[in-house]
């Protein structure tokens, strides 16, 4: 019997985020609602904190906040998925929960550059135990004009039909999203590409984890393209997660759309997946890491966490992300409640690592130019967020990254006051600026208790409240 990776140290363990119990975690999968529970699955390798043949780990929750660990839902033990049950999604139909996922098979296990990716189904009648469909794979080959990159089906219902959108690459080496249609989730008809990368450097060579939905009457295509080249202060991560706003034409199977926009501006955000809640909110989870990062927690027997669940809204052709309202339940005690008139101030709090903070700086008539939020230990400024009033630029700086990769950037359209909502959870920090207009998701690592400072180049009035967060 193989034994799960052993946890040797909990120093970096997050308290109120979904993370792997032990072993490796990447993408969120199968985000859905079934028989009174939210379900979140994830790319999981239980036997080591390094990536290995992917399983689907599984949690469920009644409130999006308290998650119960469930048995492994998918194990790579079939010929079509023996080298990984890759990312996919879930949908309830006739009181049964269906998972649709990619089976990954290497023709030669020592050569990961050649593989066969197929789409597969598993189902459950209790939301806990899953059976793989005996007719797998349900899509055995990619379309003829596709490369071998053919993965991450996201399923939804439209009218009487089911659709999946699959991440892919065409024969010319351009990323794209293709769709299929079905009446029973088991037999699929190929419809074609709905959107294609215009150029490798601009829009990528493979689109991973596509997701198509409508919000406020507009279409949104979310995806994680590989291969977009950095341009100035944009697209600085190894791979990007972002979206196109547009309109889905089901008759023509085309998604007319605008430009690609990054969804989160931090270092640690990828492979996001959404679901629609019973009360019609579009909620997104991302992987709170990035491929090939340093992953210090790997030394402790685990690796990987998800972001907080966030509600998506659309304003002025831009997606906003706000932590779900259920998170307020985790507020334990108000530990900060200050009105500051300050240029440099330490925010004193006994547990700065399990905290939600809300800062409102009265910047409308302020004549200064820069406000910094700093999380630091004795040696260094671990994470700094700087807002510049003159050009409305926001700069996020991480001390643990090489200097040329330490900064991430964003822009806040002029508003009366600057609002920063921050969630800190042991080794993660997420910034939501001006009600989710600009978001940075980050991991940070410190062996001693950090301190929080707010600093401005000219005295500014800031209201600060803060709560310790329950597990
Ligand atoms: C995205 C991804 C997916 C794939 C999965 C494998 O991070 O590469 O395209 O299905 O991870 O774990």
Burial annotation 143-157 (CB, 10 A radius, 16+ → b, else e): beebbebbbbbbbbe
Predicted confidence at residue 386, as pLDDT, reads 98
Q: Ligand 1 mean position to 411 CA, how many Å?
A: 29
Distance CA 441, CA 383 (A): 11
Q: Ligand 1 mean position to 309 CA, how many Å?
A: 20
405 and 372 in one domain? yes
| Whether the CB of 151 sits within 6 Å of ligand 1 | yes
* Locus of tokens 């001006």: 434
pTM metric for this prediction = 0.97
423 and 461 in one domain? yes
Q: Ligand 1 mean position to 172 CA, how many Å?
A: 21
27 a catalytic residue: yes
Question: For the ranges 263-267, 362-366, 441-445, which has the lowest average pLDDT?
Answer: 362-366
Distance CA 39, CA 32 (A): 5
| Whether the CB of 152 sits within 6 Å of ligand 1 | yes
Distance CA 179, CA 166 (A): 6
Burial annotation 264-296 (CB, 10 A radius, 16+ → b, else e): bbbbbbbbbbbbbeeeebbbbbbbbbbeebebb
408 and 314 in one domain? no
Number of domains in the chain: 2
Q: Which ligand 1 atom lies nearest to the CA of residue 224? A: 1
| Whether the CB of 442 sits within 6 Å of ligand 1 | no
Q: Say which CATH number the domain at 79 has.
A: 2.115.10.20
Q: Confidence class of residue 471 from pLDDT cuts 50, 70 and 90?
A: confident
15 within domain boundaries: no
Pair 442, 430: CB distance under 8 Å: yes
Residue that terminates a domain, selected from 274, 298, 323: 323
106 within domain boundaries: yes
Q: Say which CATH number the domain at 379 has.
A: 2.60.120.560
Distance CA 431, CA 308 (A): 11
- Average of pLDDT values for 165-176? 98
Q: Which of 29, 46, 86, 177, when mutated, tests ligand 1's pocket best, judged by the most ligand atoms within 8 Å of its CB?
A: 86
Q: Which of 27, 207, 290, when mutated, tests ligand 1's pocket best, judged by the most ligand atoms within 8 Å of its CB?
A: 27
Task: List all residues 6 or more positions away from 57 whose beta carbon is below 8 Å from its beta carbon.
Answer: 20, 21, 25, 41, 42, 43, 44, 46, 72, 73
394 and 260 in one domain? no
Q: Ligand 1 mean position to 453 CA, how many Å?
A: 38
379 and 250 in one domain? no
Extract long-range pairs of 278-284: CB within 8 Å, 24+ residues apart. 278/33, 281/311, 281/324, 282/213, 282/215, 282/311, 282/312, 282/313, 283/31, 283/64, 283/309, 283/310, 283/311, 283/312, 283/324, 284/222, 284/309, 284/310, 284/311, 284/312, 284/321
Q: Which of 24, 26, 29, 286, when mutated, tests ligand 1's pocket best, judged by the most ligand atoms within 8 Å of its CB?
A: 26
Q: Which ligand 1 atom lies nearest to the CA of residue 206? A: 9
Residue that terminates a domain, selected from 274, 308, 323: 323
Q: Which of 150, 208, 226, when mutated, tests ligand 1's pocket best, judged by the most ligand atoms within 8 Å of its CB?
A: 208
Pair 362, 415: CB distance under 8 Å: no
Q: From the candidates 27, 268, 289, 300, give the one annotated as an active-site residue.
A: 27
* Locus of tokens 């189902």: 123
- Average of pLDDT values for 223-245? 98
| Whether the CB of 87 sits within 6 Å of ligand 1 | yes
Token pair listed for 232: 């100035």
Q: Confidence class of residue 89 from pLDDT cuts 50, 70 and 90?
A: very high
DSSP for 379-427 reads S-EEEEEEEETTTTEEEEEETTS-GGGSEEEEE----SSEEEEEEEETT
Q: Confidence class of residue 81 from pLDDT cuts 50, 70 and 90?
A: very high
315 and 183 in one domain? yes
Per-residue pLDDT of 373-408, as tens digits, reads: 999 999 999 999 999 999 999 999 999 999 999 999
Q: Ligand 1 mean position to 347 CA, how many Å?
A: 40
Phi, psi of 343 (to 5 degrees): -110, -35
Q: Ligand 1 mean position to 151 CA, how many Å?
A: 8
Q: Confidence class of residue 148 from pLDDT cuts 50, 70 and 90?
A: very high
5 within domain boundaries: no
Q: Which ligand 1 atom lies nearest to the CA of residue 287? A: 7
Distance CA 134, CA 42 (A): 23
The alpha carbons of the chain give a radius of gyration, in whole angstroms, of 22
Burial annotation 88-97 (CB, 10 A radius, 16+ → b, else e): bbbbbeeeeb
Token pair listed for 424: 């800190």
DSSP category for residue 200 = H
* Locus of tokens 């469909």: 133
| Whether the CB of 208 sits within 6 Å of ligand 1 | yes
> In percent, how much of the chain has pLDDT > 90?
97
380 and 257 in one domain? no
17 within domain boundaries: no
DSSP for 107-149 reads EETTEEEEEEEEEEEEEESSSS--EE-TT--SB-S--TTEEEE
Pair 427, 375: CB distance under 8 Å: no
Predicted confidence at residue 416, as pLDDT, reads 83
Pair 387, 370: CB distance under 8 Å: yes
CA-closest residue to ligand 1 atom 9:
208
| Whether the CB of 321 sits within 6 Å of ligand 1 | no
Q: Ligand 1 mean position to 271 CA, how many Å?
A: 8
Q: Which ligand 1 atom lies nearest to the CA of residue 239? A: 7
Q: Confidence class of residue 414 from pLDDT cuts 50, 70 and 90?
A: low
Predicted confidence at residue 343, as pLDDT, reads 83
Burial annotation 338-358 (CB, 10 A radius, 16+ → b, else e): eebebeebebebeebbbbbbe
Residue 170 lies in domain: 23-323
| Whether the CB of 206 sits within 6 Å of ligand 1 | no
Per-residue pLDDT of 306-358, as tens digits, reads: 999 999 999 999 999 999 999 999 999 999 999 987 888 899 999 999 999 99
The continuous run of DSSP H or E covering 201 comes out as: helix 200-203
Pair 147, 137: CB distance under 8 Å: no
464 and 433 in one domain? yes
Distance CA 249, CA 240 (A): 26
* Locus of tokens 């042991």: 426
Pair 227, 173: CB distance under 8 Å: no
18 within domain boundaries: no
Task: Could you list the beta-strand ranges (E) of 205-353.
Answer: 206-215, 218-226, 242-249, 254-257, 261-262, 270-276, 282-287, 302-303, 310-315, 318-323, 331-347
2 within domain boundaries: no
Q: Ligand 1 mean position to 440 CA, how many Å?
A: 22
């Amino acid at each position: 019997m193989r034994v799960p990776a052993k946890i040797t140290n909990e120093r970096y363990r997050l308290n109120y985020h979904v993370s792997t119990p032990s072993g490796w975690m990447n993408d969120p999968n199968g985000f859905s609602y079934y028989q009174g529970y939210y379900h979140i699955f994830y790319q999981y390798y239980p036997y080591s904190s390094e990536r290995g043949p992917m399983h689907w780990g599984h949690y469920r929750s009644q409130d999006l906040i308290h998650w119960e660990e469930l048995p492994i839902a998918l194990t790579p033990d079939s010929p079509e998925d023996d080298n990984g049950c890759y990312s996919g999604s879930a949908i309830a139909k006739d009181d049964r929960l269906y998972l649709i996922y990619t089976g990954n098979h290497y023709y030669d296990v020592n050569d990961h550059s050649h593989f066969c990716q197929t789409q597969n189904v598993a189902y459950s009648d209790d939301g806990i135990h899953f059976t793989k469909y005996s007719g797998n794979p349900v899509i055995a080959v990619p379309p003829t004009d596709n490369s071998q990159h053919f993965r991450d089906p996201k399923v939804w219902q439209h009218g009487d039909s089911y659709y999946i959108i699959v991440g892919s690459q065409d024969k010319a080496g351009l990323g794209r999203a293709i769709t299929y249609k079905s009446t029973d989730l088991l037999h699929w008809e190929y419809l074609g590409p709905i959107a294609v990368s215009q150029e490798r450097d601009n829009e990528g060579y493979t689109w991973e984890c596509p997701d198509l939905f409508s919000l406020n009457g507009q279409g949104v295509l979310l995806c994680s393209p590989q291969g977009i080249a950095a341009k100035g202060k944009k697209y600085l991560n190894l791979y990007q997660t972002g979206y196109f706003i547009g309109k889905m034409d089901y008759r023509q199977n085309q998604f007319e759309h605008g430009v690609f926009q990054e969804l989160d501006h931090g270092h640690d955000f990828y492979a996001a997946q959404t679901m629609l809640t019973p009360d019609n909110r579009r909620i997104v989870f991302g992987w709170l890491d990035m491929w090939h990062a340093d992953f210090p927690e790997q030394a402790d027997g685990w690796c990987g966490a998800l972001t907080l669940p966030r509600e998506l809204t659309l304003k002025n052709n831009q997606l906003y992300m706000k932590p779900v309202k259920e998170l307020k339940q985790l507020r334990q005690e108000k530990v900060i409640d200050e009105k500051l008139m300050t240029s440099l101030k330490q925010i004193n709090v006994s547990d700065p690592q399990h905290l939600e903070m809300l800062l409102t700086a009265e910047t409308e008539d302020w004549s200064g130019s820069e406000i910094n939020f700093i999380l630091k230990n004795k040696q260094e400024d671990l994470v700094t967020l700087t807002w510049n009033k003159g050009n409305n630029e926001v700069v996020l700086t991480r001390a643990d990254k090489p200097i040329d990769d330490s900064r991430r950037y964003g822009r806040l359209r002029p508003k009366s006051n600057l609002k920063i909502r921050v969630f800190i959870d042991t080794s993660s920090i997420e910034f939501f600026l001006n009600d989710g207009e600009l978001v940075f998701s980050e991991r940070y690592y410190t062996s001693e208790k950090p301190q929080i400072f707010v600093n401005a180049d000219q005295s500014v009035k800031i209201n600060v409240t803060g709560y310790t967060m329950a597990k």
